[in-house]
Amino acid sequence: MEPTIEAYNQLVEKLLALSVAYYDNDAPLVSDFEYDRMNNELKRMEAEHPEWIRPDSPTQHVGGHVSEAFAPVEHPVPLESLQDVFSFEEVAAFVDKMDASLDAPHDYVTEPKIDGLSVAVEYRNGVLYQGATRGNGAVGEDVTENLRTVRSLPKKLKNAPTRIIVRGEVYMSHETFQTINAQRELEGLPLLANPRNAAAGSLRQQDPAVCAQRTLDIICFNIQLAEGVTYQNHYETLEAMAAMGFPVVAHTLCRTPKECTDAIAAIGEGREGYPFDIDGAVVKLNSLSQRQALGSTAKYPRWAVAYKYPPEKKPSRVVDILIQVGRTGVLTPKAVIEPIRLAGTTVTNATLHNQDFIENLGVNVGDTVLVQKAGEIIPEVLEVVKKQSDGVFRFPETCPACGAPVVRDEDGAAIRCTGAECPAQRLRNIVHFASKDAMDIDGLGPAVVEALDKAGLIKTPAELYYLEPQSVAAVERMGKKSAENLMNNLEQSKTRGLARLLCAFGIRQVGSKAAKVLARHYASLDELMQATEEQLTAIEDVGPVTARYIAEWFASEQSQHQIGLLRQAGVSFESREEIADDRFAGKTFVLTGALERFTRSEAEQIIERFGGKASGSVSKKTSYVLAGANPGSKLTKAEALGIPIITEDDFAKLIEE
C-alpha cells in the first residue's frame, strides 16, 4: 500500500516519543527490535519520498537530547550511530559494497554490540580527565565524576599518548542487576527495568555516590583521538587499548562475508557467556585510512554495520504451570515447557505474566505454544499454536506458599497473597516493619535482616521482639556491641505507638499518612479492630477499598497470630497521635520549593498536629500552597486555580495564633 504523508508524520512523532523515552528517560516503551522495525519503515518512506523528510526526523540525528542537569561537552570526534542490518544477506551486501568501493585489500573486525550507555572518555598525560555521554552525537553530558566510580575504567593509563579519547559502553552486569533488584524488592522500591536502563539511569545520577552504589562496568571499543600516535587499523587500536589498561571488547578478524557471518553466529550462540546484555554484533572495516576515505552519511559511518539478532520463536508443549510468590506477595505464573534451544540457551520455562494474559491466550497445561526470547529477555509465551487441553488455567484462590487468601489489585492485573506471615514475603515484611516510617528500628536494615533470617532466628516481624542477645551476637556481621545496640533499639521501638505499628503491618493502602489518620480516630489497636467497614469508611481519607483491606487484614488468622505475639512482647497498642487543636481541620496543604525555617517533614507534622492534611499534588481541593525558594510547577498550577499561596512567615503566623 502506498504510504501517505499523514502516515509518515504519525510515524515520525511516534518514533520521536520513543526516542525521548529511550535516550532521555532511560525507559524504553518498546523492544529494540520493534523500534528498529519502525525506524526502517521510516527510512523506506523517506527513500521513496525525500520531499517529506523533516529536519527533526529520527533519521537525521543521533541519540537523545543533552540534559540541562549536566554541563555540555562538545565531542572533538562525533560519536556516530550505526546502520542496522537484519539478515546475513544484508551483511554480505555490505561487504560487497566495500569490495566495490575499495581497490586495496581490506578486512573486517566483528564485535559484540553491548547494550549499555555509550560514552567518550578523555585522558591527558595518562590520567582520566573528562567523560561524557554520547548525547546527540556532537554534544554530550559531562558525567566525569560518575565515570570515576565505574570500577573497571582505569583512572591512570600505561604508556598512553599525551591525549587520548576512547569510546566505550557503560553497562550493569547481570549479577549486579539481580543483586540490586533483590535489594530494592526487600525495601519495597520499584524494580529496575533492565540492565541497560539501570546503567544509563545510574550514570546520569546527580549524586556520584548513588552511581558508585550501582557498581557499573565499561567495555571500550574504539579510539576516537590519539595525539602523536598513528595507528594503521582498528585491530591494532584494540590491542593498544588493552595494553594501556582498558577492558576491551572481544573481537574477531574476518576477511570474507562467510567469516563475518560465522563470527556473528558465534557471538549470538555465546551471548549467555557475556556478563552484559548484547543487542547485536558489529562488523567494521579494519583499515583506518580506508574508513577515512569512505567517510560518513549525515548519521552513519559508511564503513560499519550493526547486525540485529531477530527474536527467535519456537513451539513447545506446556508440561506444567507453576505459581511463584514474589517478595511483594504477587503471584506470577510460569509455564514449564519441553526444552527448546533459543538465543543460544536451552529454555525450559517461560513467563505467562498474569491471569489476564493467560485468559487472552486461552492456555492450559498440555497446549503447544509459541515461545520467544528476544535478546536477553526472559522467555515468554506468545500464543497457543495447538490447543490440546480443556479450558484455561486458573489461579488458585489461596497462596501456594502459606495458604492465605489471594486478592486481585483494584487498579491492576496483579494477584497477591494477603498473609501477614507468608514465608515468601517474610524478608520484605520484616524490612518494612523495621523501616523509618514504621517501627524505626535503627540497625535493622536489609543486610542484617537477611543475616538473621539465614541464621534461622526470625520468620515473622513479631519474632524480632523474641531475639536473644547471645544469638544475635553470634550472627555474621553483628558481634556483641552491634547486638547490644540492636536489642536496645528493639526495646525502644515497643513504645512507638499505634500509627507506626499500623504502618509497620503493611496493610494495603495504609501507609504512614493513613496510619496517622486512623490513630487519631482510635485510641488503641483493640478499639480499631472492633470498627466495622462502614465506620472506617466514615473517616475522611479512608475510602471503602481501604476500609475493606483493613477489615480483611485483621480477620486473617496470620494477622491475629502476629498481634498476639506483639501483645505478649509488650509492644504498645496505644495511640500517641495528639491534635493540639483542630484549626486546620478539613484543610489540605501542598508544599513546594526549598523551605528554610522548617524541614518538609516538620511542616507536614505540624499540619497534621493541627488536624490538617499534607498532600503531594495541587487540586481544586487544596486549601493552601506553602511555597519556599525555587518553587516548581505546583506553584504555577496553584496560581492558575486561584489557590492561596503562603510563605513560611505566613505559615508561622497560622501556627502561632
* CATH number of the CATH domain containing 210: 3.30.470.30
Say if CB 362 and CB 382 are below 8 A apart.
no
Which phi and psi angles does 43 have, rounded to 5°?
Answer: -60, -40
Closest CA to 54 of 18, 97, 95, 8: 8
Using an 8 Å Cβ cutoff, are 569 and 491 in contact? no
**Residue position matching grid coordinates 486549601:** 623
Query: What angle do the packed helices 5-19 and 32-48 form, to 10 degrees?
Result: 140
521: in domain: yes
Same domain (yes/no): 299, 328: no
- Closest by CA to 650, choosing from 629, 631, 634, 626, is 626
> Do 271 and 339 share a domain, yes or no?
no
Q: What is the pLDDT of residue 480?
A: 87
Enter the C-alpha cell of residue 581: 487543636
Q: Considering 307, 329, 355, which residue would you say is the last residue of a domain? A: 307
Task: Tell me the C-alpha distance between 657 and 516, whole Å.
Answer: 24
> In this structure, are 138 and 248 located in the same domain?
yes
Residue 408 lies in a domain: no
CB neighbour burial string for 215-252, b if at least 16 within 10 angstroms, e if fewer = bbbbbbbbbbbbeeeeeebbbebbebbeebbbebbebb
The answer on 447 and 523 residing in a single domain is yes
Q: Do 617 and 534 have their domain in common?
A: no
**86 and 172 belong to one structural domain:** yes
What pLDDT is stored for residue 478 in this prediction?
83
Strands (E), 312-413: 312-325, 331-342, 345-351, 368-373, 380-386, 406-408
Q: Do 432 and 553 fall within a single domain?
A: yes
CATH of the domain at 343: 2.40.50.140
pLDDT computed for residue 590 by the predictor? 93
Determine the structural domain holding residue 183 and report its residue range: 72-307
Residue positions counted in the chain: 657
CATH number, domain containing residue 28: 1.10.287.610
Residues 250 and 340 in one domain: no
Does residue 40 sit in the same domain as residue 180?
Answer: no
Q: Is residue 301 part of a domain?
A: yes
Cα 532 to Cα 89, 498, 610, distances in angstroms: 70, 18, 27
Assigned domain for 371 exists: yes
How do 588-592 and 624-627 pair as beta strands? parallel
Residue 544 belongs to domain with CATH number = 1.10.150.20
Q: What are phi and psi of 224, to 5 degrees?
A: -80, -40
To 5 degrees, how large is the angle CA 53–CA 54–CA 57?
100
If one counts the domains in the chain, the total is 5
Q: What average pLDDT values come out for the chain (657 residues) when binned by 10 residues? A: 83 82 63 75 83 78 58 93 93 94 94 95 95 93 93 93 97 92 82 86 85 92 96 97 97 95 93 88 97 91 94 92 92 95 85 93 96 76 94 95 92 89 94 94 91 93 95 86 94 96 94 90 95 92 92 96 97 82 86 87 86 87 90 87 92 84
Ranges of H-type helices in 570-632: 600-609
pLDDT at 377: 65
Dist. CA 463–CA 580, nearest whole Å: 35
Q: Would you state the cell numbers that stand for residue 109, as one nine-digit string?
A: 573486525
pLDDT on residue 147 = 94
- Among 364, 386, 408, residue at a domain's last position: 386
Contact by Cβ (8 Å): 367, 318? yes
Instruction: Kindly state whether residues 503 and 357 are assigned to the same domain.
Output: no
Q: Are residues 122 and 250 in the same domain?
A: yes
Q: Is residue 251 part of a domain?
A: yes
Q: Catalytic site residues? A: 113
| 575 within domain boundaries | no
Query: Does residue 183 share a domain with residue 295?
Result: yes
End residue of a domain, out of 262, 280, 307: 307
Q: Is residue 207 part of a domain?
A: yes
- Strand pairing category for 304-307 and 83-85: parallel
Of the CA atoms within 13 Å of residue 28, those in its CB half-sphere come to 16
Please report the pLDDT score of residue 267 as a whole number. Answer: 94
Residue 108: which of 314, 241, 263, 313 has the closest Cα?
A: 263
Looking at the domain assignment, is residue 403 inside a domain? no
